[in-house]
Structure 1
Amino acid sequence: MSRHWLKQSERGSLFLIRLITRITLLLGRPAGRLLLYPITLYFVLFSREARNASRNYLKRVVPQPIGMRHIFRHYHTFAATILDRVYLLSGRQDYFNIDIRGETLLLEQLKGGRGCMLLGSHLGSFELLRSLAATHPDISVKALMYEENAEKISQVIQTLNPEIADMIIPIGRPDSLFQVQEAVELGEIIGILGDRVALDDKQVKVRFFDQTCRFPAGPMLIAGLLKIPVVLFFGIHQGGRDYTIHFELLTEGFHLDREQRWQQITEWTQRYANRLEHHTRQAPYNWFNFYDFWDETGNTPK
């Protein structure tokens, strides 16, 4: 259990977030960009488990032998998105060149006054959603996060934009589903990441990069219980200040049948995994699961 991502991966990620946040606030983005190189090198050299996880993942998606330069690029892309997160959470979306694709698909689902689920992943930057606030200030997004991480990340966010910390719904509390339902009825978007399984998560097995992997059942279970649309979100870092946002409609809503519930959840999760794999293959250095995702499924590469 001590190797699980909640105890392994997030600890390093949060330290990196705090470090880069301080540097950026003190010295600005140009200085932060320069310092990303020694920071990235440090993490590549001294985070053995995350480095091995990066190598195991890149073996599946990069069509050439994986060396340290590939791992460095993977880490550096992650660090760059964290640096940009400081600006995005501070309301500086105008600093970036953001190409939004499929925005009307999302807006169509909100026309009836009821909210929807925005299902993201650890591919690219989920904070790019803040760019919607610039053109659609009436749209509200609540983020579902694991309680432990929600508290830690809220501490970081508090220094950048205190209002955003109030837009987090912790997962695992007795009233979590009630808060989600209430937000949906108010016409708000529920944002959740669907590519990590927590210790007590219900889970399903799907095909991902030609292997059977475990994905959380929670997102599709919530969507089915509340009968809400699910829109996929991928915010890809293209380098420098350039990002591309992809919105894709997964479903306008579905009803869970008691007898076939888990079959339905598995089928919808498989569709999500298929689209995640597609976009990951297009931007392989943007997937930031720095723990042994494959080991948890019993599929570590040889």
Structure 2
Amino acid sequence: MSRWDGKTRGSLIGYKIFLFFIHFLGLNFAYLLLRIVTYYYFLFATKPKNALLDFYQNALHISASDAKKLVRKNFYIFGQTLVDRAAFLLGKNKAYTHIFENEQYLIDIRERGKGGILLSAHLGNWETAGNLLKGRITPTINIVMLDAEVESIKKFMDLSTGGSRFKVIAIKNDLSHIISIRNALINNEFVAIHSDRYIDGAKFIELDFLGKKAKFPYGPFVIASKFDAPVTFVFAAKDGKYSYHLSSTLPITEKMKPEEIARLYVAELERKVRKYPEQWFNYFNFFN
């Protein structure tokens, strides 16, 4: 898999099985089942495994033997984040704890009354982070994303769990999502955007990332630059069996060029990847 294609993968039967076990047999059993499922993926999911091995060995300079162990751990933790997402929506959120580094930054953004732009990445569990933020910091979280989940899976999750606790602003070719973002900010809402993946054909910015050249989507940084709203980088990494570590950076409140915001974002992303390499969930060749 040379690039990300914008699609979320997974089978409907897989979602049904895990929702059943979470609901009737509990999280511990679901986690135990994950060990079997993710070991299968480690053995047979060649493309994502090779992409991770390349990333760990050539970008983070981890030995081949340690990289293989890290890939297995990565697959398992990714499975846990999916279980956690479903468990949270099934009302089992009391099983989880979290700490929030620099939570006051988001409170300050809310108090400014101009909304806030939260730039994040596919590292850790962004959806559970959004659900945690919704009840604690703000009544409304908007996630800007490609609405490319398999429709049958999305429909089943909505029917089974009531759907996500935040709003989705789907990226459209007619750019109508820009209007939705503007309206959300006017209403003093938070708008979260993943800024680490781009699709071939989309405009990108090329930056140094972990000592190598990598392409990042240009759009999120243009949005962060153009709107009159504070910008912060937010991440949520799993730091225990049922616990998460959320963090945000000092908000950018002055006007900056997209390229300047992108460089700051990439620097923070580097720090998070080095701290949580097992939670790097980009299963494709990230570099040129």
TM-score when normalising by structure 2 = 0.89
Hey, what does 1:44 align to over in structure 2?
42
**Contact map agreement 1:224 1:253 (CA 8 A) in 2:** no
Aligned-pair CA distance for 1:96: 1.1
Aligned-pair CA distance for 1:62: 5.7
Alpha-carbon distance in structure 1 between the residues aligned to 2:212 and 2:160: 40
Code of the residue aligned with 2:3 in structure 1: it is H
2:52 to 54, 57, 65: 54
Q: Secondary structure of 1:44's partner?
A: helix
Q: Secondary structure of 2:286's partner?
A: coil
Hey, what does 1:94 align to over in structure 2?
94
2:277 to 272, 280, 284: 284
**Contact map agreement 2:114 2:230 (CA 8 A) in 1:** no
Code of the residue aligned with 2:103 in structure 1: it is E
Alpha-carbon distance in structure 2 between the residues aligned to 1:14 and 1:250: 40
Hey, what does 1:63 align to over in structure 2?
62
**Contact map agreement 1:143 1:191 (CA 8 A) in 2:** yes
Alpha-carbon distance in structure 1 between the residues aligned to 2:81 and 2:159: 18
RMSD over aligned Cα atoms: 2.5
Q: Secondary structure of 2:224's partner?
A: helix
**Contact map agreement 1:143 1:190 (CA 8 A) in 2:** yes
Aligned-pair CA distance for 1:57: 1.5
Code of the residue aligned with 2:222 in structure 1: it is L
Q: Is 2:281 the partner of 1:293?
A: no
Alpha-carbon distance in structure 2 between the residues aligned to 1:218 and 1:150: 24
Q: Secondary structure of 2:9's partner?
A: helix
Code of the residue aligned with 2:277 in structure 1: it is P
TM-score when normalising by structure 1 = 0.85
Distance 1:130 1:165, change over 3 A: closer
Q: Secondary structure of 2:148's partner?
A: helix
Question: Comparing 164-173 with 214-223, which one deviates more in the overlay?
Answer: 164-173
Hey, what does 2:197 align to over in structure 1?
196
Aligned-pair CA distance for 1:102: 0.7
Aligned-pair CA distance for 1:129: 2.5
Code of the residue aligned with 2:64 in structure 1: it is P
**Contact map agreement 1:102 1:247 (CA 8 A) in 2:** yes
Hey, what does 2:4 align to over in structure 1?
5
Superposed counterparts of 1:10-49, under 5 Å:
10-12=8-10, 20-49=18-47
Alpha-carbon distance in structure 2 between the residues aligned to 1:232 and 1:68: 30
Task: Determine what percentage of the aligned residue pairs are the same residue.
Answer: 23
Hey, what does 2:237 align to over in structure 1?
236
Alpha-carbon distance in structure 2 between the residues aligned to 1:83 and 1:120: 21
Aligned-pair CA distance for 1:13: 8.6
Alpha-carbon distance in structure 1 between the residues aligned to 2:23 and 2:210: 39
Code of the residue aligned with 2:246 in structure 1: it is I
Hey, what does 1:265 align to over in structure 2?
258
Query: Between Structure 1 and Structure 2, how many residues are aligned?
Result: 284
Question: Comparing 147-156 with 284-293, which one deviates more in the overlay?
Answer: 147-156
Q: Secondary structure of 2:100's partner?
A: strand
Question: Comparing 110-119 with 157-166, which one deviates more in the overlay?
Answer: 157-166
**Contact map agreement 1:86 1:160 (CA 8 A) in 2:** no
Superposed counterparts of 1:116-135, under 5 Å:
116-126=116-126, 127-135=128-136
Q: Secondary structure of 2:233's partner?
A: strand
Aligned-pair CA distance for 1:287: 1.0
Alpha-carbon distance in structure 1 between the residues aligned to 2:27 and 2:250: 34
Q: Secondary structure of 1:164's partner?
A: coil
Q: Is 2:186 the partner of 1:185?
A: yes
Hey, what does 2:164 align to over in structure 1?
164
Distance 1:229 1:242, change over 3 A: same
**Contact map agreement 1:96 1:242 (CA 8 A) in 2:** yes
Code of the residue aligned with 2:38 in structure 1: it is T
Q: Secondary structure of 1:155's partner?
A: helix
**Contact map agreement 2:105 2:251 (CA 8 A) in 1:** no
